[in-house]
Chain A
Amino acid sequence: MFYREAGQFKTNYRTDQAVFPIFQDKIGVLVILAFLFLVVPFWFNDFWLNSIMIPTLIFSLAAIGLNLLLGYAGQISLGTGGFMGVGAYSCYKLTTIFPDINILVHILLSGFFAAIVGILFGIPSLRIKGFYLAIATLASQFFLEWSFGRIGWLYNYNPSGAIEVSTKRMFGIAITGPHATSLTRYLIVLSIVVVLTWVASNLVRGRIGRAWMAVRDMDIAAELIGIRLLQAKLTAFAISSYFAGVAGALMVFMWLGAAEVESFDINHSFLILFMVVIGGTGSLIGSFMGAAFIWVLPIFLRAAPRVLGVDISAATVEHFNFMIVGGLIIFFLIVEPNGIARLWQIGKEKLRRWPFPY
C-alpha cells in the first residue's frame, strides 16, 4: 500500500538511472544512515560497537570487494584474505615510513598496493576460468601468506612477527591505537564504508560494471560486442582488491590493533567467500547481509545461553555454534540459492502488492 512506485514518473534518463529509482527506497536508505550515524553511537555500548558493528562493517567492505569480482565479473577468487593482508601490511609500512601523514590517507592509499598485487594475480584469469582460476588465486593466497611471515621488512623485523598499531591523532583525538574510543573508530569505519559502497554502487551501474556483467554472463559474447576482456577482467581484479585492501587496513588499524599472518590465512578468504555466497552474489546489499549473518549470528549464539541463564560450558556452546551456523548455511543454500539478498528482493516485491497479492 505504502511501498509502491505508482505516480513516480521518470521523465529523463537521469532519474530513471538513479541509484534508488523508487522514492521510498531513498527514504529507507536515509533512515538507515541516520540510524547508523546518529542512533547507534548513543545507544550501543562498547561491546556492540567493537565486536559487532565495526567488524561487520569491515567484513561487509571486504565482501563487497569480492562480490565485485565474483558476483559482477564472474571471476572466482580465493585470495581475498591475502589481498586484505596486502592492504594491512602496506598501511603498516606507510605509517612507519611516513608517520606524519594522516592515517586515513594511508588507509585509503594502502588499497592501491592491494590493487597492484590483485592485477598481478589476476593476469591468469585471461587464460583460465572457473575452478582452475580459483586454484590460481589460491596460489596467491599461499604466496602472500608466506611473504607476510618470511619477509622481515614487511613487519619491520619485529621479533614477534606481528604488526602493531600505534596511537595516531586527528584534530587532537586519538583515532587508532588503544586510546581511540570505539565510537571514534566506528564512525570512521562507517564513513569509509558508506563512501566506498556509494562508489561501488555507481561502478556497477556504469560502463565498467556493465562490461563486467557482460564478461560474467558469457565472455566470448562480450568480446564480440567490443568489450576488451583484458581490461574488464583486470579492472575487476584491481577494484576488488582495492576494496579488500582497504578492508584489511581497517581491520588491523580500526578493529584489532595488531595482526599476525594468521589473521589473513585461507580461512579468512573462505569466510569472506561464504559471506558473499550467503548474502547473494551480484548484490551490494547482500554483502552487508551476508557479513552480518556470518559474523553476528555466532556472537548471538555464544551469548544466548548466558542471557537465558542456561549453564552450559563455553566449549559446548562453540560446538553447537558450528552445528547451528553450518546447518543454517545449508538451509539457506537449499531454500534460496541466490542468497539473503534475493529474499530481500522477493520481500520487497510482495510489499509492493500488499495488501492485494495476486
Chain B
Amino acid sequence: MSSNKLLLGLAGAAMLAGSMVVAPPVQAEDSIFVPMLTYRTGPFAGSGTPIMDGMHDYFTMLNERDGGIGGVMLEIEECETAYNAQKGVECYESVKDRDPVVINPYSTGITLQLIPKAPVDEIPILSMGYGLSATAVGESFPWTFNAPSTYWSQMSGIIRYIEAQGDGIAGQKIGFIYLDVGYGREPIPLLDELASEMGFEVVKIPVGVKDMQNQSSHWLQVRRERPDWMIMWGWGAMNPTAIKEAAKINYPMDHFIGVWWSGGNVDVTPAGEGAVGYLSANFHGTGTDFPAIQDIITHVVEAGKSLADPDTVGDNFYNRGVANAVATAEAIRTAQQVTGVSVVTGVEMREGLENLNITAERLTEIGLEGFMNPMQITCEDHAGAHPIYIQQWDGENWNRVSDWIEPMSDRVRPMLEAAAEAYLADKPEWQTQTCN
C-alpha cells in the first residue's frame, strides 16, 4: 500500500515537473544565446571535456573581461549529448526556440542530422573542422560552415606531408585506421582518389565503436600488412587505445599521423614513453603562452568559474575549444558590424560567419598572435582552404615539426562541388544561394 502511494506521489511529481517545462524559459532581452552541445559523459568524454572547457572558458572570459561582445553579454548554456545523435537532436530542439546565435554540434553524426534543419530554422551551424566536407560549398549550403578546413583538405595536407618526407609517396603502402562512423568514413573518397592518382596503396582498417578499446586484432592486421605510414581518424577512447597498441607492436611512431581530433594530450599520455614521436595534424597553437589564454587563467580558471582542471589549460584540445570559441566570437563581432544589430540572432550570425575574416592583426589584437593561421570565410567557400601543420609529441609537449602545409585545393574543390551536387540531387526544395 504505502509503496504504491509513494509511486503515485512520484508520478504526480513527474507530472508537475512536466507542466513546469511547458512554460518557455524567460530569456533576457539583451544577451546573445550561445548554446553548447557538449559531451562530458560517455566513451567520448575524454576527447570532449577539454574542448568544451576551452570553449566555455573563452566565452566566460569575454563576459568577465569585456562584458561580452560589443557590449552584449553572452548567455552560455551547455546541453549534454554524450556524442549521441538522438540526444543531440533533442538538445537542438530544446534550444532552437530561444534564438540561438549558432550551433556547434561537435559531432559529425549530429551535424548530419542538423544540416537540413538549419535553413528552415534559420540557425547557422559552425562545424569547425569536422562535419560534412561538402558543406564547404557555400552556394549549396548557405547555413553551414566548416572552417578552417574540411576533412578532405586536411587529408590532402597529410598526404602532402608524407610526400615531402624521405621516400616520397609513390609505391608506399598507407594504412588508414578510422572510427567506423560517418566521421571516420568521411575522408575515404578523397583518399581513394589520391591513391590511384599518386600511386600509393591504401589499407583500410575500420574500428567499430564497440571495438574502440579493444584493437588488438586491428593492429595484428597492421603488423601483417606492414604499411609504411599509418593515418588515423580516431576519436574518444579509440585514440589512446590505438597509440598504445601501435607502441606495443613497435610501429614507428614518427610514421603514425593522427587527424587533428586524434592529437589530444589525453590520447598520448596513457602510452607513456611509447607515444614519443607520434604525429598529429593541427591548425592552432598549444600551450598557455598567449595573452588571451593568460586572461582565461586570471579571469576564469583562478576565479573558480571554470570546470576545467587547471593543469589541462593549454592542452591541445583545450586550445581547440578556445579556437572554436574565437571563431564564434569573431563571427558574432563581424555580424554586429555588418548588420548593425547588437543582439544578433541566427540570421545576422550567418552574415557574420560568411564575412568572417580573422586577420593576423586581429589575432594579435585579441591576444592570440601566432595562435592560428589567419582565417577567412567567403560566400563561396565556407571552409576556406586553410593550411595545416604537423606536430610531434615528445613525451611532454607537442612540437611543431612542419611548416604550414597548403591543402590540394585544386584537387579537393571539384570533389567538394560534386559531393554537394550529389547531396542536393534528391532535394528539389533545398535552399541555395548565389554568390556574386
Residues of A that sit less than 8 Å from B by CB: 44-48, 50-51, 55, 96, 99, 149, 159-162, 164-167, 177-179, 256-263, 265-266, 296-297, 299-300, 302-304, 306-307, 313-315, 317-319, 322, 328, 335, 343, 346-347
Contacts and interface: CB of A to CB of B under 8 A. Distances in A.
19 contacts: A50-B93, A149-B206, A160-B108, A160-B182, A165-B116, A167-B427, A177-B427, A177-B429, A178-B120, A257-B113, A258-B113, A258-B116, A259-B85, A262-B209, A265-B210, A314-B78, A318-B82, A335-B3, A343-B7
Interface in B1-36: 3-4, 7, 10, 14, 17-18, 20-22, 24-25
A164 B116 contact: yes
Contacts of B427: 166-167, 177
Given A164-B116, A303-B21, A335-B7, A315 B186 contact: no
A259 B426 CA distance: 17
B25 to A, nearest CB: 7
A314 B116 contact: no
Interface of B: 3-4, 7, 10, 14, 17-18, 20-22, 24-25, 38, 40-41, 77-80, 82, 84-86, 89-90, 93-94, 96-97, 108-109, 112-113, 116-117, 119-121, 132-133, 180-182, 185-186, 188-189, 206, 208-210, 307, 419, 426-429
A328 B209 CA distance: 28
A interface secondary structure, majority: helix
A304 B17 contact: yes
A75 to B, nearest CB: 25
A263 B86 contact: yes
B109 A314 contact: no
B14 A297 contact: yes
Contact of A46 (B10, B97, B108): B97
A266 to B, nearest CB: 8
Contact of B93 (A47, A258, A307): A47
A226 B54 CA distance: 69
B310 to A, nearest CB: 17
Given A44-B22, A315-B38, A179 B429 contact: yes
A265 B209 contact: yes
* 4 cross-chain pairs, A with B, having the tightest CB-CB distances, nearest first: A315-B40, A314-B78, A318-B80, A178-B116
A45 B38 contact: no
B79 A161 contact: no
B150 to A, nearest CB: 12
B112 A160 contact: yes
Contacts of A48: 21-22
Contact of A161 (B80, B121, B182): B182
Contacts of A322: 41
